[in-house]
Amino acid sequence: MAQLYERTPEAVERPTPRQRALTQDDVTEPRFENEFWNSKEPGVYVDVVSGEPLFASVHKFDSYTGGPSFTIPLRAGQHRRAHRHQPWNGRTRRQPPRPSFPDGPVDAGGMRYCINSASLRFIAAKDLETEGHGQYAHLFDAAPGPAASGGGVA
C-alpha cells in the first residue's frame, strides 16, 4: 500500500517559523543564502511538512540560480501537483512551490525543478532505511562518480 503524505494543521506547525513562511506563505529564499543550493552530499530531499520524498541528489545540478535545482522529481506526477491547494487551519494554502522550467541540462531531459531549501529536509543516503525511505537507496549504489557522490554537476 502506498504511503499517504499529508499536510495536516499539526504537520504545518512542526517546521520553524522560516520554514513555515516558505511553505505556507509564498515567501522565497534569497539566492545563494540557503542550506542546499550547493550541497553535494548523496541522499534524498523530502517535504519538510509532509515528509513526501521529492528529489534525489543524483538528479541535482548547479543551475547557477542560487537555489537547489533538480532534473526530475523522485516520483512521477509530482510536477503536476506543484501548485495544488489544500485546506489548512480554516484557509487555503499552497503547497511549497516546485516550479519547473525548460532550461535544465539537455542530456538529462531539459527540465529544471527548483524549490526553496527551507521547504526541504535532507536524508543522507546512509540513513534512508532508518528514515523509512529505503526504496531510494538503490540510487546511491552505483560505482563512485558524479551520480554516486551527490549527483549531476552540483
114 annotated active-site: yes
Q: Which of 114, 123, 128, 139 is catalytic?
A: 114
Contact (CB, 8 A) for 112 and 63: yes
**Unique residue bearing C-alpha cell 528529489:** 55
- Find, among 67, 76, 86, 113, the residue nearest to 24 by Cα: 86
Contact (CB, 8 A) for 65 and 114: yes
Active-site residue numbers? Answer: 114
